[in-house]
Structure 1
């Protein structure tokens, strides 16, 4: 695989860092994005597309993409503006996009506002808690998670996050009354270090999960959108968000191998089935 070339792009309020593998003259370019996952989560997946130019990036406030000023919460519209700026800057015409998790939410926001930049969008497991049938209890659990993070710090907040995203099926109305998970169960610290700058819990959690996509605008370009769900995770919150989005668009969700991180190699020590995942992605991209 071609070694990535790292570049930066100044946008209002941040400097984005992105990586290019291959020759951008190879069209269409494949843009691979997550949120808050940065480019470090995608080398394995990118390696299966040696016949393509592949671009990955760190969203603002993540890893190498530095924000200016106060670290306020971000919305999918903020990220969509960054993505539009990046694609315009690449000057390669419309791109194919594989978007994972919060990245899928951001890419749906981009597709609604700038469909001219997209050839095909594969939105894999967008955690759209605001559109699933149990949205009230799901959003209450997310609000509780955010409040826990602000009050008690990263470990307790992240423990609640992991427990929620692993939950199989609809979130019950009394979910927040259940005993809180022990951070030690997930190898997390119980002590509060005083920081509140976490890219997931502090900056992206609420804006991402509460987002209401513009389904009227997306419906006009539905022929360019593929919604993916994991074969092992389609009953978890993100998978159900994907199924709900597909239903609103009149699409049949495409089942991808493995789980929410099925594209991963050993980037974070939790490999999925990247070879099978890449084969499925290549198939749906045509």
Structure 2
């Protein structure tokens, strides 16, 4: 399908923040969410889905247009889940299919765990749930080292360590281009917020295994076809094993929906089938 919709932008006041969100299309509600990825990262995919869905995207609290009352407040999966619940309720066209990627997948799992009536299907695409791994102590130490490196002022060094821990190969010229030199001040501010107030709480979050497997919502665990052996491939498979759900393969790597949104949209529709 050819995308024809145009996003409308809005804000919603929630406890401690004012959220920026965008709405496209009409029809059953799909929420696309990241953390720290913002609404702009999901825009191409949202346009493709908006031909027959209402698509909600948002900047997570503390990033881009979603401004905090207290910039030093941590962003936890529980807070982000509450934000999503308030957005879905505010729109009044739920319940929703919720697609969350990376930290957004953690937000989506926290949402469906706390507010299952608002979610028909959750697609948790590569959630970085390091506490589910047998080598969790090593993973935890690696996260602390990355945060300490960033706080020391070594931005590129922190990102190099992050990529090593994630087992993602990023050539040095690309790393320099993306994370070095002059950058958008809002991008830098979001990066700082993520390292200082979001990363630790996101990767340390643990699903309630007494609750998650028993909720009525459909749970899909997504992994990228090019993510084999990466950290989030391991964590996604660990989650699947814990709740008895076989992972579902999506095109591309950890950010496949950015790399090829058209192919990703086709696969997402296939996976959802009649559940959307």
Alignment of 1:164-175 (within 5 A): 164-167=165-168
SS for the counterpart of 2:64 is coil
Q: Does 1:246 align with 2:240?
A: yes
SS for the counterpart of 2:123 is strand
How many Å apart are 1:199 and its aligned residue? 3.2
SS for the counterpart of 2:222 is strand
Counterparts of 1:195 and 1:262, CA distance in 2: 25
- The answer for the alignment partner of 2:8 in structure 1 is 5
- The answer for the alignment partner of 2:136 in structure 1 is 135
How many Å apart are 1:239 and its aligned residue? 1.6
Unaligned runs of 5+ in 1: 169-180, 265-271
Q: 1:215 aligns with which of 202, 206, 209?
A: 209
User: Number of paired residues?
Assistant: 263
How many Å apart are 1:237 and its aligned residue? 0.8
How many Å apart are 1:91 and its aligned residue? 1.2
Unaligned runs of 5+ in 2: none
Give CA deviations for 1:211-259 in whole Å, capped at 9, x if unaligned. Answer: 1111221111265110000111031111211111111110000011110
Confirm or deny: 8 A CA contact 1:197 1:203 kept in the other structure.
no
Counterparts of 2:34 and 2:74, CA distance in 1: 17
If the length of structure 1 is used for normalisation, what is the TM-score? 0.85
Counterparts of 1:209 and 1:117, CA distance in 2: 24
How many Å apart are 1:13 and its aligned residue? 0.8
Distance 1:285 1:157, change over 3 A: same
- The answer for the alignment partner of 1:263 in structure 2 is 257
Alignment of 1:1-286 (within 5 A): 1-23=4-26, 26-27=27-28, 29-49=29-49, 50-167=51-168, 186-187=175-176, 188-189=179-180, 198-221=192-215, 224-264=218-258, 272-286=259-273
How many Å apart are 1:162 and its aligned residue? 2.3
Distance 1:282 1:185, change over 3 A: closer
How many Å apart are 1:167 and its aligned residue? 4.7
If the length of structure 2 is used for normalisation, what is the TM-score? 0.88
Greater fraction of residues in helix: 2
